[in-house]
């Protein structure tokens, strides 16, 4: 083993049903280095982190920490061993103070262990922040802190656990520029203390500012491993997305018809601004961009789930003053949300109820459900979409992810909508189901629908869309036609 | 940790209590007499114990609907045990053991079997009451040795026994909640159970123990009530859990605020006791008293809430809350 290597991952493989999240990944971390882990959404970074932090177990491969083979079955095992992870969602108790949070469960005691020594807790916490070079009152309740300071509490906690490895998972996504400067100063201090740092971020500029080495993942495999000084941005982008698109996408290009949806100057303060686009019959408009770029928020506002502050919305050429889901459905819009479990289906209901849900008003106008008719429609839907289930009475929560998504789609297909908004429709679904889905969307478009597809999967976006909009931090930064688009161009625009 | 600093902030409920006492003293002649004050405090001693147990459970974002029945069960069991000739101290210990056992069952069902607190404690409410009715044959139990009355009527160093007992228990609870890891875990679990678990805290065990304490204290209240009335009935505690919940809320305990504990609970208990007593002295009917208590409860709850829309905020200012913590997912959404 090389000198100074504190953590090593050998041939780590992790397989989830239908998808290989990590495929024989090798990774190495030295003391006192900032090793950046880069890759698109779904490349496997989060999975790797979960394995390192003890939240998941690898199926194959080994973790070698401080020279010894280790396996971490629980999160606190990794913590106690000295591997700390700073997630985007903090594990802090809001109404307890900074000091209390840091020493939660490990408070020093006095008087033969009968009383917690709160003075000591505060002193030690203060010392940690002095070490980090941060001025803060450790008696402040965490809920009263801005996000950037809360992150520092997590870092202080990691230090207090005598961590030798600290993993940062997208630490800058919620920080201002000033906060980021302070964070980097802290990271430099941690580096001086010979702590090994794994840093995950989409923002490639940060890579060059703070990183010593970088490892790039793509579709679960390691595609590159370099010293930062030996590499430049375009090479990294190529390693992140430079895959061969050999899959054929079932896309029969159509001649677009009338405009069905138009959005002008669409703005929601602090969320997205000045969004302009239109969708016509028989076309698929793709929306690409990083997680957090605001795509979902725009579509939610279009459909009427969220409000918007300014700009205009036009359905079929008519201006819409206020949009709400009820009106949207009546106007033949369909929204297939990202989170099918909590927003797309009623897990505890059966397939039959789920599928009929959105079209009850339009099909059964009197308010009374004709069971015979319902059964016929649902049976046809199950057949058309090839939903694999023993019966329509099966509760949706027992279906696989792909089949659940088909139920959501079936629900909306039954409404015979004209405008479909898909938010990450094939995420977490196996290859076979994905292909079926694309065939169905293609069919929809052939029959005259206008489709918006939000997707973080490059091949899918490029393969299916007629036009692609790239969003970044709430605005549309670029538009590509199908012919112009390439993975590198899109990623470059998304990262900017 | 507000009260531990050098500055002593009077909480909203404390101010309310003081105001109530002052107003009552000024306008009701018989209020401020020693005999009356003694009465108030003695009457409040049962509720103090029950409320303290309920407080811990509420801090965990839970609820204990069984305390009244456990009170009755403990009172009846202890009475029966004592009338069979068992000496005082062992008899009481046995009674308390029964109470704690009921509480631990609650805790086990809630923590390990994952039954919702409402369902589990509601079930215990029925079961404990049922068992109490069976073993007492729905009769009033009396005729046990008079020695037990010392708990209620006796004095230790010139101070009424109930005050001493309640005082000691409250001191222990104060220490438990503020100076032990167990206590800190209670606030942590109530604030963010997931974070507490990930920090390696024995969440399941501590929740179970907390319900055990709640039961134990309910049992102690039952024994005290038994001593006061020199008799025991299965239904003697019915309704105490709701008074206890009211007292805890009136006192300002709020698990989302990380606030609460012994001091807050006794404040709430005293507010209730003073209001009841004052209305009694004026001659207000018991039913109207219920209206008054309900009203006070809602008003005080609003005062205690740290929401910006609170119209009473200008009299009870609270430090401005900063941004909500980053626990709402990826910063900018999808």
Contact B76, B232 (CB under 8 A): yes
Q: Residue B146 contacts by C-beta under 8 Å, 6 or more apart in sequence?
A: B230
Position A114 pLDDT exceeds 50: yes
B46, pLDDT greater than 50: yes
Cβ contact (<8 Å) for B325 and A139? no
Task: Assess whether pLDDT exceeds 70 at residue B320.
Answer: no
Mean pLDDT (chain A) is: 86
Distance from C-alpha of B20 to C-alpha of A471, rounded to nearest angstrom: 61
Alpha helices in A212-335 (DSSP H): 233-241, 295-303, 325-330
Q: Where are the domains of chain B?
A: 47-264
Predicted confidence (pLDDT) at residue A354 exceeds the cutoff of 50: yes
CB contact under 8 A, B200 and A473: no
Mean pLDDT of B30-50: 87
CB pairs under 8 A between A and B: 132
Q: Do A145 and B191 touch (CB under 8 A)?
A: no
- Whether residue B179 and residue A93 make contact (CB cut-off 8 A), yes or no, is no
- B141-145 mean pLDDT: 85
Of B199, B257, B320, the CB nearest to A91: B199
Q: Would you call A93 and B1 a contact, using CB atoms and an 8 Å cutoff?
A: no
Range A78-97 average pLDDT: 88
Strand partners, A62: A10
pLDDT of residue A99: 94
Closest CB to A107 among B175, B184, B319: B184
pLDDT at B94: 95
CA nearest to A290, candidates A475, A24, A44, A105? A475
Over 50: is that where the pLDDT of B5 sits?
no
B138–chain A nearest CA distance, Å: 44
Report which of residues A246 and A4 the model is more confident about: A4
Query: Over pLDDT 90: what percentage of chain B?
Result: 47
Distance, CA of B227 to CA of B213 (rounded, Å) = 21
Question: Domain map of chain A by residue range?
Answer: 5-241, 259-495
Q: What is the pLDDT of residues A437-461, one digit of tens each?
A: 888 888 889 888 999 999 988 888 9
Contact A104 B198 (CB under 8 A): no
Interface residues of B toward A, Cβ cutoff 8 Å, are: 1, 4, 175, 178-181, 184-185, 187-188, 191-192, 194-196, 198-201, 256-259, 319-327, 329-334
Nearest CB to B195; choose among A92, A114, A144: A92
Structure tokens at B51: 């409320």
Which of A236-245, B148-157, B232-241 has maximum average pLDDT?
Answer: B232-241
pLDDT 10s digits, A471-482: 998 899 999 998
Query: How many Å lie between the alpha carbon of A269 and the closest alpha carbon of chain B?
Result: 12
Contact A404, A340 (CB under 8 A): yes
pLDDT tens for residues B62-72?
A: 999 999 999 99
The mean of the pLDDT values for chain B is 84
What average pLDDT does this structure show over B167-187? 94
Task: Give CA–CA dist B213/B206, Å, rounded.
Answer: 10
Domains A5-241 and A259-495 alike in fold: yes
Rounded to a whole number of angstroms, the distance from the CA of B124 to the nearest CA of chain A is 29
What's the pLDDT band for B307 if we cut at 50, 70, 90?
very low
The most confident of the ranges A36-45, A212-221, B94-103, B324-333 is: B94-103
Query: Is the pLDDT at A143 greater than 80, yes or no?
Result: yes
Return the residue of B nearest to A143 by Cα: B325
B333 — alpha (psi -120 to 50), left (phi > 0) or beta?
left
Q: Which residues of A touch B9 (CB under 8 A)?
A: none
Task: Please give the pLDDT value at position A246.
Answer: 59
* Tens digit of each residue's pLDDT (9 = 90 or more) over A23-54: 999 999 999 999 999 887 778 888 898 898 88
Residue B82 C-alpha, separation from nearest chain A C-alpha, in angstroms:
35
Rounded to an integer, the average pLDDT of A235-262 is: 79
Cβ atoms within 10 Å of B292's Cβ, excluding its own: 15
Q: Answer whether 0.90 is exceeded by the pTM.
A: no
Chain segment A365-421, per-residue pLDDT in tens: 777 888 888 888 888 888 877 787 888 888 888 887 778 888 888 888 888 889 999
Question: Looking at domain A5-241, what is its CATH homologous superfamily?
Answer: P-loop containing nucleotide triphosphate hydrolases (3.40.50.300)
Residue B212's pLDDT is 96
Q: Which residue has the tokens 């309900």?
A: B294
Chain B residues in contact with A76 (beta carbon < 8 A): 198-200
Nearest CA in chain B to A140: B1
Q: Is the pLDDT of residue B255 over 80?
A: no
Region B214-231: mean pLDDT is: 94
Facing residue for A94 by CB, picked from B200, B201, B325: B325
In DSSP terms, B259 is beta-bridged to B254
Residues constituting chain A: 496
Rounded CA-CA distance B287/B245 in Å is 19
If one compares B158 and A278, the residue with the highest pLDDT of the two is A278
Per-residue confidence (pLDDT) for residue A186, from 0 to 100: 92
State the CATH architecture for A259-495.
3-Layer(aba) Sandwich (3.40)
Least confidently predicted of A125-134, B156-165, B245-254, B311-320: B311-320
> From B4, which residue of chain A is nearest by alpha-carbon distance?
A118
Q: What's the pLDDT score for residue A495?
A: 80
| Long-range CB contact pairs, B200-208, < 8 A, 24+ | B200/A76, B200/A79, B200/A105, B201/A104, B201/A105, B203/B111, B204/B111, B204/B112, B205/B111, B206/B182, B207/B60, B207/B62, B207/B107, B207/B110, B207/B111, B208/B104, B208/B107, B208/B108, B208/B110, B208/B111, B208/B112
- What is the ipTM, given to two decimal places? 0.76
């Amino acid at each position: 083993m090389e000198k100074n290597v504190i953590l090593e991952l050998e041939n780590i493989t992790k397989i989830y049903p239908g998808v290989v999240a990590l495929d024989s990944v090798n990774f190495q971390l030295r003391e006192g280095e900032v090793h950046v882990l880069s890759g698109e959404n779904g490349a496997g970074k989060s999975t790797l982190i979960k394995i390192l932090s003890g939240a998941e177990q690898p199926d194959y491969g080994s973790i070698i920490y401080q020279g010894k083979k280790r396996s971490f079955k629980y999160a606190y095992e990794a913590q106690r061993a000295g591997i700390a992870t700073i997630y985007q969602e903090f594990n802090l108790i809001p109404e307890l103070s900074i000091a209390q949070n840091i020493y939660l469960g490990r408070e020093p005691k006095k008087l033969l262990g009968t009383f917690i020594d709160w003075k000591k807790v505060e002193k030690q916490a203060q010392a940690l922040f002095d070490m980090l070079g941060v001025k803060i009152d450790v008696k402040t309740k965490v809920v009263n802190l801005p996000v950037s300071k809360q992150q520092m509490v997590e870092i202080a906690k990691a230090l207090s656990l005598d961590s030798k490895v600290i993993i940062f998972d997208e630490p800058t996504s919620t920080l201002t520029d000033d906060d980021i400067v302070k964070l980097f100063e802290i990271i430099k201090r941690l580096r001086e203390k010979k702590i090994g740092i794994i840093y995950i971020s989409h923002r490639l500029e940060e890579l060059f500012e703070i990183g010593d080495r970088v490892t790039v993942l793509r579709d679960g495999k390691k595609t590159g491993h370099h010293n930062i000084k030996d590499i430049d941005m375009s090479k990294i982008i190529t390693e992140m997305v430079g895959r061969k698109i050999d899959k054929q996408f079932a896309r029969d290009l159509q001649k677009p018809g009338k405009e069905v949806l138009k959005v002008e100057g669409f703005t929601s303060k602090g969320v997205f601004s000045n969004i302009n686009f239109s969708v016509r019959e028989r076309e698929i408009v793709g929306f690409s961009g990083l997680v957090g770029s605001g795509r979902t928020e725009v579509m939610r506002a279009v459909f009427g789930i969220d409000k918007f502050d300014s700009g205009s919305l036009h359905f079929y050429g008519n201006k819409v003053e206020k949009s709400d889901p009820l009106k949207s459905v009546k106007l033949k819009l369909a929204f297939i949300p990202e989170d099918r479990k909590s927003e797309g289906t009623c897990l505890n209901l059966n397939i039959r109820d789920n599928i009929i849900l959105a079209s009850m008003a339009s099909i059964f106008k009197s308010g009374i459900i004709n069971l015979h008719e319902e059964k016929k429609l649902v049976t046809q839907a199950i057949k058309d979409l090839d939903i694999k289930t023993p019966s329509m009475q099966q509760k949706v929560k027992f279906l696989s992810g792909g089949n659940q998504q088909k139920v959501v789609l079936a629900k909306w297909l039954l409404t015979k909508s004209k405008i479909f908004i898909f938010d990450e429709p094939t995420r977490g679904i196996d290859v076979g189901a994905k292909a079926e889905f694309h065939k169905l969307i293609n069919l929809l478009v052939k029959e005259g629908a206008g489709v918006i597809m939000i997707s973080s999967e490059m091949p899918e976006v490029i393969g299916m869309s007629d036009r692609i909009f790239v969003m970044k931090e709430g605005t549309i930064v670029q538009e590509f036609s199908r012919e112009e688009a390439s993975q590198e161009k899109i990623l470059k625009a998304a990262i900017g | 940790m507000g009260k531990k600093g050098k500055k002593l902030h009077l909480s909203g409920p404390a101010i309310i209590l003081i105001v109530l006492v002052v107003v009552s003293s000024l306008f009701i002649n018989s209020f401020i007499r020693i005999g009356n004050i003694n009465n108030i405090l003695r009457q409040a001693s049962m509720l103090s114990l029950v409320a303290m147990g309920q407080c811990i459970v509420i801090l965990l974002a839970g609820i204990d609907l069984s305390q009244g029945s456990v009170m009755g069960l403990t009172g009846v069991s202890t009475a029966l045990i004592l009338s069979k000739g068992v000496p005082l101290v062992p008899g009481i210990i046995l009674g308390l053991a029964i109470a704690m056992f009921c509480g631990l069952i609650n805790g086990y069902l809630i923590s390990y079997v994952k039954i919702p607190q409402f369902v589990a404690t509601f079930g215990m409410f029925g079961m404990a009451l049922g068992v109490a009715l069976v073993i007492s044959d729905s009769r009033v139990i009396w005729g046990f040795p008079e020695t037990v009355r010392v708990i209620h009527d006796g004095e230790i160093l010139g101070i009424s026994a109930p005050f001493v007992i309640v005082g000691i228990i409250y001191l222990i609870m104060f220490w438990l909640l503020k100076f032990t890891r167990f206590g800190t875990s209670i606030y942590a679990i109530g604030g963010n159970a997931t974070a507490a678990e990930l920090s390696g805290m024995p969440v399941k065990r501590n929740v179970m123990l907390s319900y055990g304490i709640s039961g134990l204290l309910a049992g102690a209240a039952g024994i005290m009530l038994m001593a006061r009335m020199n008799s025991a009935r299965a239904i003697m505690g019915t309704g105490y859990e709701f008074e206890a919940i009211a007292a805890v809320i009136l006192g300002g305990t709020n698990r989302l605020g990380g606030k609460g504990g012994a001091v807050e609970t006794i404040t709430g208990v005293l507010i209730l006791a003073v209001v009841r007593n004052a209305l009694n002295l004026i001659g207000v009917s018991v039913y109207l008293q219920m209206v008054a208590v309900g009203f006070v409860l809602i008003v005080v709850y609003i005062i205690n809430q740290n929401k910006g829309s609170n119209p009473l905020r200008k009299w009870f200012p609270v430090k401005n809350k900063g941004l909500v913590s980053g626990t709402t997912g990826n910063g900018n959404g999808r």
